[in-house]
Structure 1
Amino acid sequence: MPSEFALIHALRAIATDPAARALADDAAVLAIGGETLVLTLDTLVEGVHYLPADPPADVAWKLVAVNVSDLSAKGAVPLGCLYSHALGEDEWDRAFLEGLDQACRHFAMPLLGGDTVRMPEGAPRSFSLTALGTGPKDCAVPCRTSARPSDQVWVGGTIGDAGLGLAAARDALDGEPVHLAALLARYRRPMPQPRLGVSLAPLVHAMMDISDGLLVDAARIAAASGVAIRIDAEAVPLSPALRAVAGDAIETRIAAMTAGDDYELLFTAPPGNNARILAVAHALGCSITAIGEVSAGGGLTLLHQGKPLPLPGRLGYQH
């Protein structure tokens, strides 16, 4: 069975239209007249992306949110979505649709259509959603390939909560109920920030969302842009709930940076834009943190107390 990267490499020979961006980005970008249409698709599979016991409304929310996260990374405003539904038990499906409605309303992304299919009995459920958005009008759609030496590396929100939330969902994590609930919410109901992505688009060089883990996604920007990226482990923002449950040792930080499912923005920008970037985040009530730098060269370096730290064997989630 080919790996995700081997399959994508093979598909590049087919996806030759410029809108596909060589399959090296979070979304396709299609120019139509004077408008830019941004398109993305994500799939959730039972037992892979969510647990069989996860509430169906939360599964639907996550399906919408992960697609909105991709639009956010392109500075796109949600326009609408199409989705495919694997039919199952009536009660489960009703709860799923309630969550779908909640998420579409929250992110102002109306459902425009889709498809239904009945799976063989006992087969894991699978749901796919295609999101459409309108790209920025006054700047290029951000991509992964434009990080430049001397850029600062920034991240939105906090990192690692969803990884511990998954452990909580499996009843494999001890802690105060209030902290476990906060972590579980980050796993089941991610909250991408599309308004932040739209506002940052004119100020950044490269931007993507963190889905597979901070370290692996930073490495992807470095590889796509042909630059080196240095991440300061101590600068990576951790939530109070995560620190209360798991502490703040370097092992905890590495676990947070490789867990994935964060759906926060990771971007690089010239230092001259720092004040404007911070002002944008403050105006929207969003937290952002500078966590590293871009330099000439290649690869990813992780610093701990100012010194290079060996990278973990697994930088993030592997498909």
Structure 2
Amino acid sequence: MMDETEFLSALRTLPLHPGARQLRDDCALIEIGGETLIFNHDTMTEDVHFRPNADLADVAYKLVAINLSDLASKGAEPVGILLGHSLGGNDGRFIEGLREVTAEFSVPLMGGDTVAATGASTYAVTAVGRATSRPVPSRTSAEIGQGVFVTGPVGRAMLGFEGHPEHLANFNRPRPRLTEGRALAPLVGAMMDVSDGLLLDAFRLANASNVSLALDSTLIPVADPARADECMRWGDDYELLFTAARDVRLPVAATRIGQVEPRGFAPLVLDGEPVLNSAGLGYSHG
């Protein structure tokens, strides 16, 4: 069985739409008239992304929110969503969560598909957005000399997963940084959301931009300083990780955690130590 990296490499041998950005980014882009439409697709599976006893209202909310988080990393304004739904769970609760999240972020349902399935439940959403700034931010545009920033602390979702009451919402109902993404889009070099762990996503951004990111762990805001290393690796935080001029006046709250350097023999340098591969840096599929 292929792991995620191997599968993506195989997909890149297929004919790709120019808007696919060589499958090295979070979203696909299509130019239509004077607009740039942005597409993202995410899936959540029982026993992998949520527990079997999870409230399906939370699952529906999170499913839409994580798709909107990818749109946020492009500075996009949501247009609508398409839903893929497996019948058989508490479908009424799923609808309730879907009603809440679509109303909260003004993102209407456009259609989708419903199936009756056996085994673990799987739910998927395709989110469509409209670019508000050009060029649309990507993972590939970090520039040497820029600072590396993150919009908020990491590790809150980890603590929520473990049951800490003050952080439950961070795991069950994350908040996509849509407002922050639109404000940052004209100013950033590269930008992506933190879904699989800050260190792993920084490693990926550096590889995509063919640079090295030098991070200082003492500058990285974490939810629990006593477990800082875990906070940086756990994921599911959906903050925005981006590069920008070090002296830029940012329009949103963010912390500078490092800088972009010429590509050395490691894409990530943490506290002066080169990190040569991504194993153990965060969550990886397969």
Instruction: Return the TM-score normalized by structure 1.
Output: 0.85
1:167 matched residue in structure 2: 162
Aligned structure 1 segments of 4 or more residues deviating by more than 4 angstroms? 309-313
Structure 1 equivalent of residue 17 of structure 2: 17
Where does structure 2 lack aligned partners over 5 or more consecutive residues?
A: none
> Using the alignment, how far apart are the partners of 1:200 and 1:310 within structure 2?
28
State the identity %.
45
What is the root-mean-square deviation in Å for CA atoms of aligned residues? Answer: 1.5
Matched to 2:206, the amino acid is A
Distance 2:116 2:15 in 1: 30
Which residue is 1:254 aligned to? 229
Query: Is the 1:84–1:127 Cα contact (8 Å) retained in structure 2?
Result: yes
1:165-205 Cα offsets, whole Å, 9 max, x none, are 2222xxxxxxxxxxx11222111110111011011000000
Q: Secondary structure, in 3 states, of the residue corresponding to 1:203?
A: coil
The aligned residue for residue 150 of structure 2 is 155
Summarize the Cα distance change of 1:269–1:15 in structure 2 as closer, same or farther, 3 Å threshold: farther
Amino acid at match of 2:280: R
Structure 1 position 146 matched with structure 2 position 144: no
Take 2:173 and 2:152, find their aligned partners in 1: how far apart are those partners? Answer: 14
The corresponding residue for 2:281 is: 315
TM-score of the pair, normalised by structure 2: 0.95
Partner of 2:254: 288
In the aligned structure 2, how far is the partner of 1:85 from the partner of 1:16?
Answer: 27
Distance across 1 between alignment mates of 2:30 and 2:114: 27
Q: Say if 2:268 and 2:275, in contact at 8 Å, map to a contact too.
A: no
In 1, are the aligned partners of 2:222 and 2:232 still within 8 Å (CA)?
no
- The question of 1:263 aligning with 2:238 is answered yes
2:268–2:274 contact (8 Å) kept in structure 1: no
Distance 1:313 1:34, change over 3 A: closer
Q: Which residue in 1 is equivalent to 2:68?
A: 68
Name the structure 2 match of 1:104. Answer: 102
Give the aligned residue type for 2:199: L
SS in 2 for 1:254: helix
SS, match of residue 291 in structure 1: strand
Q: Unmatched 5+ residue regions in structure 1?
A: 169-179, 282-286
Q: Please list the CA deviations of residues 251-308 of structure 1 after superposition, one character each: whole Å capped at 9, or x if unmatched.
A: x1110010010111000011242x1x1xx11xxxxx31111111112410111xxx54
- Alpha carbons 1:15, 1:23 under 8 Å: kept: no
C-alpha separation in 2, matches of 1:161 and 1:186: 6
Equivalent in the alignment of 1:176: none
Please tell me the residue identity of whatever aligns with 1:11.
Answer: L
The reply on whether 1:212 has 2:207 as its aligned counterpart is no
Structure number, greater radius of gyration: 1
Shift in Å, 1:231? 1.1
1:76-115 alignment, distance < 5 Å:
76-89=76-89, 92-115=90-113
Residue in 2 that maps onto 1:116: 114
Give the Cα–Cα distance (whole angstroms) in 2 for the partners of residues 253 and 308 of structure 1: 17
